[in-house]
Amino acid sequence: MSRNRDLARDKDPWRAAPVIVAQIPEAGLHRELQADVAARNAMAAIAGLREIVSAQAAFDLTLKPDGKVHVIGRVRARVGQECVVTLDPVENEIDEPVDLIFAPPEQIPQLADLVDDDPDDDAEVPDPPEPIVNGQIDLGRIATDALFLGIDPYPRKQGAVFEAEIEAKDPEDHPFAALKVLRSQGAKKGDKE
């Protein structure tokens, strides 16, 4: 995931007008994004997909105390991949929920310390907040990350089943077969002497 996230951030394929935190109304803000052909092609190239047929996102942003912003939404896409069994083209649907908290950068270290990473604890631990960069939140970047998270790493064509070829083992084909031959040749030489 982090590799895809880094690639997405370097390339910023799904560009959207960033949301300026200071302009979010108290009642919140709703935004919908639709990726154009250039953005879909760029994302497909980064993710190693055959194509991205469609990609859209919808987000609701809510102001929280201390300058934090809660972003919830959903990213939906249809992606073209290759079946890992048959290599035939397949299309898969992506439907990824988004639920993130953004905070001013100066708050991130102290908020990250509050996150308990106890591996023995069964309770789901929230991720530390994402930073608000230059007073803005980039919804295109969030949408790209969610889309990449939703990609099936092992897509299969419906009904495709991997069947390994099973060959009957030759009883003479084993690691010590060559030694057996040498031993039998040595025994034959010993018989002749």
Query: What's this model's pTM, rounded to 2 decimal places?
Result: 0.71
Q: What pLDDT shows up at residue 85?
A: 87
Higher-confidence position of 183 and 49 = 49
* CA torsion angle 82 86 87 93 (round to 10): -10
Q: What pLDDT shows up at residue 3?
A: 43
Return d(Cα 120, Cα 115) in angstroms, integer. Answer: 14
Q: Where are the domains of the chain?
A: 2-149
DSSP string, 13-63: -S--PPEEGGG--TT-EEEEEE--HHHHHHHHHHHT-SEEEEEEEEEEEEE
pLDDT reading at 107 higher than 90? no
Q: How many residues does the chain have?
A: 193
pLDDT reading at 10 higher than 50? no
| pLDDT tens digits for range 16-66 | 879 999 999 999 999 999 999 999 999 999 999 999 999 999 999 999 988
